[in-house]
């Protein structure tokens, strides 16, 4: 394929060298004449393992060249990759001026091009940047329509400095956010030999994935450092602790707990986070990340409560209020917090949870239910039908299997607030998920 790459910095130079090494005809584009000259001399404009040799060989083989001429690059290629910088502004927002300028240049060049051209953004941009900046700028400059006359994709890179060439050929995943199927298919062809999961999605999701990855990496570093600091303060080797921690790939390093939803609760997580942060305070240690966990969790409780109240309905039914499905444990259940707030604000409630109903009669939680939260126990009903018949707003509080039929049984006017994503099927205007 004939490919033009805009921006010969870190991502652009690595992409150019790797794509040319794969046999594609690559044209690098940069306003910096020095970078262009270095490429054309077979030299790398960046310091990165293996890339120097790749650029030297592909220039020698006639597969890679560089230019400052945008029109030449666009007219000589089928696909343009945008790899320009998106630095931070003083307020933390992204500076997309380089992206906007390159899109204007590519768009003007596409005016004179009859064939279908695909523009791929590899630059890291916040969700909405493609829809609000890239696509409108390209359309205005070209006089053409995205998804019809030309294609647009977002293709985030997952390259680490020092191992970028290895990472290019061994990515954890390949993510393509596409404006249309034809554009997506053309980009897929670049990665057909990659041994990695290929995900095709919308452009906004692709944009968000990159930020999710980097934020998670930052959180992991901060978490390990805070555990290390606390460990050292109590005379423990933090490396030993984290080495053992990382051996657990069923829960600790896994997809478990990584689905957005409602707040955590139960007898372990709140208590143990509270105890750990208290211990740090007694040692005069600041643990900003760990100290933020419980306040963040409480904000999710408040968000769920606000969603219910915003429906403007007085009769509310709660389906599932133990802290998770399959248990009768109400200790620090965030749903109990929500229920008590609603009671205090004068809402009429009906509550159903099969396991909690059984516990009220025979289980270990009997004393807690009848003596500590008797105002809640009086609102409990024996079956789900009683809730569905009564409620104007139905809250799905845990993922019990029996609740999966709720969306099929809604009456006109009923609203659902789903805190657990009970089903992939959604019911339009009657349905509202907390994080989806």
Q: What is the pLDDT of residues 26-50, one digit of tens each?
A: 999 999 999 999 999 999 999 999 9
Question: Within a domain: residue 321?
Answer: yes
User: Measured in whole angstroms, how far is the alpha carbon of residue 92 from the centre of its chain?
Assistant: 19
**Nearest one of 132, 137, 155, 143 to 110, comparing CA atoms:** 143
Decide if pLDDT at 408 tops 70: yes
Annotated binding residue 60: no
Which residues are within 8 A (CB) of 262 and not within 5 positions of it... i.e. 6 or more apart?
A: 300, 301, 304, 334, 335, 397, 419, 420, 434
What's the CA gap between 278 and 280, in Å, rounded?
A: 5
| HEC-encoded secondary structure of 140-168 | HHHCCCECCCEEEEECCCCCCCCCHHHHH
Q: Tokens in use for 66?
A: 């560089």
CA distances for 340 relative to 114, 165, 264, 334, angstroms: 65, 56, 17, 10
Dump strand ranges (E) for 208-266.
Answer: none
Asked if pLDDT for residue 374 goes beyond 90, the answer is no
Is 220 part of any domain?
A: no
Cα 248 to Cα 246: distance, rounded to the nearest angstrom: 5
Asked if the structure places residue 64 within a domain, the reply is yes
CA–CA separation, 170 and 165 (whole Å): 9
Among 201, 227, 243, give the residue marking a domain's end: 201
* The two structure tokens encoding residue 411: 């009456």
pLDDT of residue 360: 64
**pLDDT recorded at residue 345:** 96
Higher pLDDT, 9 or 329: 9
d(CA 17, CA 25): 11
Q: How confident is the model at residue 378, as a pLDDT? A: 87
Q: How does residue 229 score in pLDDT terms, banded at 50, 70 and 90? A: very high
Instruction: Tell me: pLDDT of 336 over 90.
Output: yes
User: How far apart (Å, rounded) are the C-alpha atoms in residues 26 and 18?
Assistant: 10
The domain total for the chain is 2
pLDDT tens digits along 231-271: 999 999 999 999 999 999 999 999 999 999 999 998 899 99
Position 401 confidence tier, pLDDT thresholds 50, 70, 90:
very high
220 is in an annotated binding site: no
Residues 160 and 20 in one domain: yes
Question: Would 217 be classed as within a structural domain?
Answer: no
pLDDT band at 369 (very low <50, low <70, confident <90, very high): confident
Same domain, 176 and 64: yes
Determine, yes or no, domain membership for 9.
yes
- Residues 197 and 307 both lie in one domain: no
Three-state SS for 228? helix
Q: Given this model, what pLDDT does residue 428 score?
A: 85
Expressed as residue numbers, the domain containing 124 is 2-201
The catalytically annotated residue of 18, 103, 153, 268 is 268
Residue among 48, 55, 62 nearest 17 (CA): 55
pLDDT at 362 over 70: no
Whether the pLDDT of residue 364 is over 80: the answer is: no
- Residue 48 sits in the same domain as residue 177: yes
- Which of 156, 172, 201 is the endpoint of a domain? 201
Same domain, 156 and 9: yes
**CATH assignment at residue 381:** 3.40.50.720
Any known ligand binding at 411?
A: no
pTM: 0.89
Q: Which residue has the tokens 């396991």?
A: 355
Q: Looking at the domain assignment, is residue 186 inside a domain?
A: yes
How many Å separate Cα 252 from the centre of its chain? 19
124 is in an annotated binding site: yes
Residue 412 inside a domain? The answer is: yes
pLDDT at 324: 84
Mean of per-residue pLDDT scores for the chain: 94
Find the helix packing angle between 203-233 and 238-245, rounded to 10°. 140
Asked, for residue 36, whether it belongs to a domain, the answer is yes
| 317 and 173 co-located in one domain | no
Q: Where does residue 147 fall: left (phi above 0), alpha (psi -120 to 50 degrees), or beta otherwise?
A: left
Q: Select from 136, 167, 201 the last residue of a domain.
A: 201
Please tell me whether 250 is known to bind a ligand.
no
The rounded distance, in Å, linking the Cα atoms of 230 and 237 is 10
268 is catalytic: yes
Q: Judging by DSSP bridges, how do beta strands 174-178 and 150-154 pair with one another?
A: antiparallel
pLDDT (tens digit per residue) in 89-141: 999 999 999 999 999 999 999 999 999 999 999 999 999 999 999 999 999 99
Q: Is 161 annotated as a binding residue?
A: yes
Please give the average per-residue pLDDT across 317-323, as a whole number: 93
CA 353 vs CA 112, 326, 329, 379, 402: distances in Å = 65, 10, 11, 11, 10
**What confidence category does residue 330 fall into, taking pLDDT thresholds of 50, 70 and 90?**
confident
CB 236 within 8 A of CB 183: no
Decide: helix, strand or coil at residue 19: helix
Looking at residue 264, its pLDDT comes to 94
Q: How far apart are the first and last CA of the chain?
A: 38
Same domain, yes or no, for 316 and 184?
Answer: no
């Amino acid at each position: 394929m004939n490919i033009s790459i805009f921006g010969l910095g870190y991502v652009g130079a690595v992409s150019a060298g790797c794509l040319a090494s794969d046999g594609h005809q690559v044209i690098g584009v940069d306003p910096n004449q020095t970078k262009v000259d270095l490429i054309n001399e077979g030299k790398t404009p960046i310091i990165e393992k293996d890339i120097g040799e790749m650029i030297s060989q592909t220039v020698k083989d006639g597969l890679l060249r560089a230019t400052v001429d945008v029109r030449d690059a666009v007219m000589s290629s089928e696909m343009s990759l945008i790899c320009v910088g998106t630095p931070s502004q003083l307020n933390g927002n992204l500076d997309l001026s380089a992206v906007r300028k390159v899109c204007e240049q590519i768009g003007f060049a596409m005016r004179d091009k009859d064939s279908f051209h695909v523009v791929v953004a590899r630059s890291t941009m916040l969700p909405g940047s493609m829809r609000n900046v890239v696509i409108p700028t390209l359309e205005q400059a070209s006089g053409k329509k995205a998804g019809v006359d030309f294609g647009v994709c977002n293709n985030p890179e997952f390259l680490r400095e020092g191992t970028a060439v290895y990472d290019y050929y061994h990515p954890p995943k390949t993510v393509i956010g596409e404006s249309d199927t034809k554009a997506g298919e053309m980009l897929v062809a670049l990665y057909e030999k990659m041994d990695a999961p290929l995900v095709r999605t919308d452009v906004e999701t692709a944009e968000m994935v990159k930020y999710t990855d980097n934020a998670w990496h930052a959180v992991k570093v901060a978490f390990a450092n805070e555990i290390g600091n606390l460990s050292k303060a109590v005379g423990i080797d933090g490396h030993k602790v984290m080495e053992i921690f990382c051996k657990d790939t069923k829960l600790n390093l896994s997809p478990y707990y990584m689905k957005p939803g409602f707040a955590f609760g139960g007898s372990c997580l709140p208590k143990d986070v509270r105890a750990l942060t208290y211990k740090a305070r007694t040692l005069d240690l600041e643990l900003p990340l760990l100290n933020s966990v419980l306040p963040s969790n409480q904000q999710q409780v408040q968000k769920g409560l606000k969603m219910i109240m915003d429906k403007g309905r007085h009769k509310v039914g709660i389906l599932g209020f133990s802290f998770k499905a399959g248990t009768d444990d109400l200790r620090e259940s965030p749903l109990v917090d929500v229920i008590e707030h609603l009671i205090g604000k004068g809402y009429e409630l009906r509550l159903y949870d099969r396991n909690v109903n059984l516990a009220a009669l025979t289980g270990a939680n009997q004393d807690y239910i009848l003596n500590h939260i008797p105002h809640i126990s009086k609102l409990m009903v024996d079956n789900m039908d009683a809730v569905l018949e009564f409620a104007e707003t139905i809250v799905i509080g845990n993922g019990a299997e029996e609740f999966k039929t709720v969306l099929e049984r809604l009456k006109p006017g009923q609203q659902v607030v789903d805190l657990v994503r009970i089903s992939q099927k959604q019911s339009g205007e009657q349905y509202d998920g907390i994080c989806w």
